Amino acid sequence: MVTPHISAAPGDFAPDVLMPGDPRRARRIAETFLQDARLVTEVRGIEGWTGTYRGRPLSVLASGMGMPSVTIYATELFRFYGVRSIVRVGTAGGIPQAVGLRDVVVATAAHTDSAMSGRRIEGVHLSHAASFDLAKAAVDAAAGAAGTAVHVGPVFTSDHFYLARPGLFDQLEAHGTLAVEMEAAGLYATAAAEGGRALAVLTVSDHIRLAQALTPAEREADFERAVTIAATTLETSS
């Protein structure tokens, strides 16, 4: 079935999908991590690829930026293409000083100030949680990734990239929040609604407190550790 946003044919997607935000990063993952990768969709420049990883089918599809975009693509994958698991592989801004540049965050939950989830069940504030089996598999996979500092806990999913809110990150840090990003809560809510599994494995590309940031080249190089953890997670948790 062709959807409004995905032109793949039935069976073109593997049951497991890696989901970066950037279409160019989706292509890079396909070219460097997958064997025999083939392009299965490119509507609006959002590329999806399917190949194999260590002999198992695996797909990658970009999500674009923000909760509305990731919700559209995740819904169509779960509902129309038989996808069972989606692991977001993206970047995030570290909040506590203990979370450094290049570290990996396994997001077990995602707080949000977005109104999107409030529309799902009237009068209910949903808990945006990762799938436990995926989170556990990611922690196990990270234990085997030499030289990678991994943090496990909640992140904050924001609709805003530039909005200044003094004191916000102090309060988030006081409640154990590790990083800020823009998609995980939307992905987790969609997986819950569609009966799928979801997780976000994030590379810390900048730091809110320390005003530090990786260069574009550094982001690409260090991103590979999170992708390896995510792909291994899907391999071992199926």
pLDDT, one tens digit per residue, over 162-184 is 878 879 999 999 999 999 999 99
Task: Give the pLDDT confidence of 72-126 residue by residue, as tens digits.
Answer: 999 999 999 999 999 999 999 999 999 999 899 999 999 999 989 888 888 888 8
Residues forming a β-bridge with 39: 49
- How far from chain centre, in Å, is Cα 48? 15
- How far from chain centre, in Å, is Cα 192? 15
Residue 163's pLDDT is what? 79
Residue whose pair of structure tokens reads 């109104």 in the numeric block: 115
Pick the closest to residue 19 from 56, 71, 54 (CA basis): 71
Task: Give the pLDDT confidence of 124-155 residue by residue, as tens digits.
Answer: 888 999 999 999 999 999 987 767 789 999 99
Contact present, 41 and 3 (Cβ < 8 Å): no
* Residue 70 structure tokens: 């990731």
Q: Between these two residues, 132 and 4, which has the higher pLDDT value?
A: 132
Task: Give the pLDDT confidence of 46-63 residue by residue, as tens digits.
Answer: 999 999 999 999 999 999
Q: Is the backbone of residue 176 left (phi > 0), alpha (psi -120 to 50) or beta? A: left
Residues serving a catalytic function are 206
Q: Collapsing DSSP states into helix, strand and coil, what is residue 14? A: coil
Residues forming a β-bridge with 206: 93, 213
